[in-house]
Structure 1
Amino acid sequence: METDPGWVDEVLLSGPSDGVCLRLPAPVDRATLRRLVADAQAGLDAAGLRPGGAAALRLPPSLAYVVHLLATWRVGAQAILLDHRLTDHEVDRALRRLTPQVVVAPVRTGGGALRVFVDVTAGVTGYADRPAVSGHAVIQLSSGSTGPSKVIGRTAADLVAEVRRYTRIDGVALPGERIVLLPSMVHVLGLVGGLLYGLHAGVELVPPERLSGDAVLAAVAAADTPATVLGVPFHIGLLASTRPGGPLPQFKRMTTGGELVPAAVARAFTDRFGVPLGNMYGMTEVGVIGTDLYGRHRPAIAPAPGIEVRAVDGELWVSCPASPYVGLSDPTRWADGWLRTRDAGTVDPDTGLVTVRGRLDSQVSVGGMKVDLTEVETCVAELPGVAAAVVLWDDGITAYVQPDGPLSEEVLDKLLAERLAGYKRPRVLRLLDQLPRTTTGKLVRSPDALRSAATP
């Protein structure tokens, strides 16, 4: 099915030709971006991409990624977003399933492993002479933090509606301001909340030179206009442990998406910088669901404009007109216009505020007593000497812990005995130098993956 390409020019590429939209660190104005997109579109056409087809983009964060994404949509084709950190095996499996007409991948990459945006020369090769597997504008793979990835599709109308939803959220970066962009643009927060919203609203996107606390603060300080840092909880911890070299009056706020932010990390950040730490809750399937960008209601959030949230038997359901899943028909995830998030939570009947209480599978029974593993995990993560923790049920409550300095299982067990009732305490403690994370920075919660990581 062909995607009408007119929305790209209307929603993303319009505006003054001399307006800077990206700074990488050299500025890229709209006239330059439009020219680069047109050049990339010609290359895609020459390689065999047609309206109603699909292009698989296997590119790291780069100007090449941005222009090939927009060019694919301008062709009227579907963009399949493959995280550049996926293995060849994972990519081959996705390509066989989704059969794009062309694949866009790096021919040359420069700039170093720690750079957020890299210098890429992209190559386009033909793959399969077939139409796209669905009529969606974009195909994304879920992060798979608790199991295998899902194939998720969103239409051009979905993307445009979400971009316009952002413009109605109090506290987002405003035209003429900057977003210091940390999350990957392959995934929904960086893609829509960063790239697409920034292009639409006239907000300059400024990736830091490197993924370090000092580089992020340098990006904030590089201009006089207000800057919002957009990231995930990992980035909050990174900044909370970084001392600024001087005043940062440009620092407007930090907004985080992804997993819940431990209270201790949030306090450390706000104590250090004195700016609001905003929270955003969303899913790949529907984008942004709710926000608290001033940090007034933590851990609760307010539903985003146009989004309805309800709690059914302790699970959060989100309005979603059509199933977002490609090739799946699972009524336990989507039915009758509602997406089951698999997140536990409540909706306040008076204020409408939504409180996310973790995954539904975090509720377990120990000796007839209900235990919320999210509560246990929060307790473990806030202990002195702990950098990160995952607590799950694996024939008993099991804690996988990444120390922040010297720490033994005996000391950890003693600290927990002082803070948790006996039936809540982990029966197994595993110390790992580094907890596994997904490509979006979320802690992996798959028992098999964690067991494997803990095996010497």
Structure 2
Amino acid sequence: MPEGWVDYYLLSGDPAAPALHFGAPVDRGTLRSSVGDRQRQLAAAGLLPGGTVALRMPPSLDYVVTLLAAWRSGAQVSLLDHRLAPAEIERAVRRLAPQLLVETDHAAVPVIRPQPGGLPAATDHVLIQLSSGSTGPSKVIARTSDDLVRELGCYQALADFPATGERVVLLASMVHVLGLVGGLLHGLHAGIELVVPQRATPHGILAAVAARAAPTTLLGVPFHAELLARLADPPPVPNLVRMVVAGELVRPGVPDAFTTRFGVPLGTMYGMTERGVIATDLTGRLHPALEPVAGTEILVRDGELHLRQDASPYLGDSDPARWSQGLLHTRDAGTLEERTGRVTVLGRRDSQISIGGLKVDLTEVEQALADLPGISEAVVVFADGAIEAYAAAADGSTGEQLRERLAAEMAGYKLPRRIGLLTALPRTATGKVLRDPARLRAAAAGG
């Protein structure tokens, strides 16, 4: 593993400068000292340069310290969401074969567990992540330190992204790419105080924003923006300068609703676990178009967005449907404006289906359903040759009543075969709406 990149890019700077806030402030000097202590603990547990560590820890100072300590030791780190069930963790550990698994016990104390049969790193990747699994099984995605540093450079070059001396209140998961690189690593690299709210309620989030007078950015997923935009009478937060969301398409109307509530823009980003940040509209002026970040080449082939990427981001044999011949296939539909190079993401390519020879865009159906009175959120999928929808209805409507209302908004061949009702849509650990038909059916059935 490359040496020195953690100290140079993430742990340097004024020791007295604020770095993190998990209920209490932590300066950069304290963070650096804590990382050194944890590094010695990992070494005592048998970790050597080129070793492998899996982390299953909630967002906390201990999580950050352990991650940086493992990287500083020259280890390859796999990140597992702490909310996964024990059986899911067991399957992931078998799949990844780490030498050490670091978890927190019931007292939130880190426990380092050597793993029988764990293997040293077979590649020079420093980070292993599992994709969100919103549409099916997770993919094993690997990134090198050079690639992480490249992405940090992309964030540093963005004129309207948080900069030195500012604050970020992080709502996105630090296990996944937006919260990890756009939040934690960029914050450490650029000298930004990263704040994780103690309460993830709307008022808890706004209290974290208002806690210090420094310019503050909210960083999360569209769900968080919708949650805040629904506040009828939010308290004033004059130090809030923007919110930035990524992970899913933002529903029409949400940017305007958010800006009306708070008087600041709702910026958007497009990215992938495999690549990190790809394109942005941080001011909201380009919506729905996005400006590609520096060094990113986007192509459109048969309506699908592709990225130039020399090496496969996947461990093991690559699926040629995902990466081949130097191109990463995003599976997202989109358009590219030749004159400006701006990209517009239209949704998942697999959201465009054919019913009886007629083309249907599931995103269009989903938005029409979500716009019906009384619907707080909705998801539309295609399974077993038919369209299915699931919605959270606040007015007591039945699925058939919703289907009748939807019939007034669009052609009959676009209508879902059935609409299942839930109190809230199931989501992945990153906040994305779950799109696996089997799991949606089970949730609607109460399973």
Letter in 1 for 2:36: A
**Contiguous gaps of at least 5 residues in structure 1:** 110-119
- Greater Cα shift, 417-426 or 53-62: 417-426
Quick check: 1:264–1:382 contact (8 Å CA) kept in 2?
no
Match runs of 1:184-263 below 5 Å: 184-243=173-232, 246-263=235-252
Q: What one-letter code is carried by the residue in structure 1 that aligns with 2:418?
A: V
**Aligned equivalent of 1:327, options 296, 316, 330:** 316
Partner amino acid for 1:358? G
Residue number among 320, 336, 342 corresponding to 1:347 in the alignment: 336
Q: Give the C-alpha shift of residue 86 in structure 1.
A: 1.1
User: What are the superposed Cα offsets for residues 198-235 of structure 1, whole Å, 9 maximum, x if unpaired?
Assistant: 00000110111210000111111111111000000111
The 3 A distance-change label for structure 1 pair 129 and 85 is closer
Deviation string, structure 1 residues 409-452 (Cα, Å, up to 9, x no partner): 24312321221122222221111222221111111111111122
Contact in 2 for aligned 1:40/1:71 (Cα 8 Å) = yes
* CA shift digits 1:353-409 (9 cap, x unpaired): 111111111111223221111111111112111111111122222111111342222
Q: 2:113 aligns with which of 125, 129, 145?
A: 125
Match runs of 1:171-190 below 5 Å: 171-190=160-179
| Aligned position for 1:431 | 421
- Give the match for residue 116 of structure 1: none
Query: Where do 5+ consecutive residues of structure 2 fail to align?
Result: none
Deviation string 1:33-82 (CA, Å, 9 cap, x unpaired) is 00100000000000011100111101010100000000000000111101
Q: Which amino acid aligns with 1:56?
A: A
Question: Post-superposition shift, 1:244?
Answer: 5.3
Specify the alignment match of 2:92 in structure 1: 94
- Distance in 2 (alpha carbons) for counterparts of 1:371 and 1:289: 27
One-letter code aligned to 2:105: V
Q: How does 1:397-412 map to 2 (within 5 A)?
A: 397-412=387-402
Which residue of 1 is the match for residue 434 of structure 2? 444
* Conservation of the 8 A alpha-carbon contact between 1:436 and 1:450: yes
Deviation at 1:352, TM superposition (A): 0.9
Whole-Å separation in 2 of the counterparts to 1:412 and 1:402: 11
The answer to whether the 8 Å contact 2:278/2:292 transfers is yes
Residue pair 1:262, 1:382 contacting (<8 A) in 2 also: no
Q: Provide the secondary structure at the position in 2 that maps to 1:439.
A: coil
1:276 aligned onto 2:265: yes
Q: Distance in 1 between matches of 2:124 and 2:392?
A: 43
**What is the match of residue 8 of structure 2?**
10
Name the stretch that deviates more: 124-133 or 417-426: 124-133
**Deviating runs (4+, > 4 A) in structure 1?**
none
Cα deviation digits, residues 119-178 of structure 1 (max 9, x gap): x31011211453124321010000011110000000000111101110001210011000
2:281–2:287: 8 Å Cα contact kept in structure 1?
A: yes
* SS of match in other structure, 2:16: coil
- Cα distance in 1 for partners of 2:46, 2:118 equals 8
Distance in 1 (alpha carbons) for counterparts of 2:39 and 2:92: 23
Distance 1:25 1:426 in 2: 46
User: What is the CA–CA distance in structure 2 between the aligned matches of 1:144 and 1:98, rounded to whole Å?
Assistant: 16
Taking the aligned partners of 2:86 and 2:378, their CA distance within structure 1 comes to: 30
Query: TM-score, length-normalised on structure 1?
Result: 0.95
Deviation, structure 1 residue 267: 2.6
Task: State which drifts further: 398-407 or 340-349.
Answer: 398-407
- SS of structure 1 residue aligned to 2:241: strand
TM-score (norm 2): 0.97
Contact 1:54 1:100 in 2 (8 A): yes
Total equivalences in the alignment: 444
